[in-house]
Structure 1
């Protein structure tokens, strides 16, 4: 069985909306515009690429990533690995090694297979749905010392069930960014 890891850049108030930019969100690019870069905080991202067996994203994240990531050398492992998009509308994905899944049931089947961890990037709605379905095993969070007030949140579902987590790794970097890795307690 494969583990499913939600990995996010997150503001202190839980917003994960448009951390790198390129969106209509008024604070788009907040991770690069508002917080000084600390290369040490990027270590987790390199480790994720090396250890992952697949990437899982929603349609909106696919539309944002697919035109850009294939041209970026720092995403070489992601570009080569299998990618899965949960979408009811995407018909002909152009990004290399991309398969469309139509439901969370198909994600559950994917988890039952062999291979490395499945990483979920971006995709607030997808991450919330995966959590509600009991499919998330771990969270990798880079928490930035900024309050954004509004935007898509990772844990925004008011009717969600309580979920206990166990902290398995944590670090604070010189720029105030915190790495927090949590396992979901079942």
Structure 2
């Protein structure tokens, strides 16, 4: 069984929406990762470390549409170019796949993601995609969280975790680190 890993930048109050800002932001605090936090390379080293474990990427439709055209041509994301990508969407048409960004498959349901986890290969990483992450978490499909927690309270934006009334889900701390700029790295395994 392949591990499904959520990786993301999150505010202290659980918002993952708009960390880099950009068009289509729904709240005034968009761009919160770069606005008031001192950049320290070591605080972002997790992103590079993840590449060694990443064998595929999963996105929700909106995150795919935002990331694909940018990451395809970005030298900072060159290592992702040829990795298999999966977009979970009931509405994305096949002709909306971005050319030149490696093999991309559209999955139409949570059940399709569960089947993908049963396939051969290593870890599958979810970037962004707050709505998808909530749905997959509620379905018990996420195995690990890689979080960089930023010292901000945003109030508005998409939350990583749902408000569903469900059974408690325990997490086991795998690794943590705190950085002088207030960012905290937290890696949790989901206990099953």
Same fold (TM over 0.5): yes
Q: Is 1:61 aligned with 2:99? A: no
Q: Is 1:99 aligned with 2:105? A: yes
SS of aligned partner of 2:141: coil
Structure 1 runs of 4+ off > 4 angstroms? none
Instruction: Report matched runs for 1:26-175 at 5 Å.
Output: 26-91=28-93, 92=95, 93-95=97-99, 96=101, 97-175=103-181
The CA deviation string for residues 80-132 of structure 1, in whole angstroms up to 9 with x for no partner, is: 10010000111121242111000011111110111120001111110011111
Shift of residue 161, structure 1, vs aligned partner: 3.0
Q: Is there any run of 5+ residues in structure 2 with no aligned partner, and where?
A: none
Alignment size in residue pairs: 186
Alignment-derived partner of residue 18 in structure 1? 18
Shift of residue 76, structure 1, vs aligned partner: 1.1
Indicate conservation of the 8 Å contact 2:69/2:98, yes or no.
no
Q: TM-score, normalised by structure 1?
A: 0.96
Shift of residue 49, structure 1, vs aligned partner: 1.8
Distance in 2, Cα, partners of 1:180 & 1:89: 33
Q: Is there any run of 5+ residues in structure 1 with no aligned partner, and where?
A: none
Shift of residue 139, structure 1, vs aligned partner: 0.2
Shift of residue 160, structure 1, vs aligned partner: 3.6
SS of aligned partner of 1:9: strand
Q: TM-score, normalised by structure 2?
A: 0.93
CA RMSD after TM alignment: 1.1
Alignment-derived partner of residue 9 in structure 1? 9
Indicate conservation of the 8 Å contact 1:85/1:101, yes or no.
yes
Shift of residue 162, structure 1, vs aligned partner: 1.5
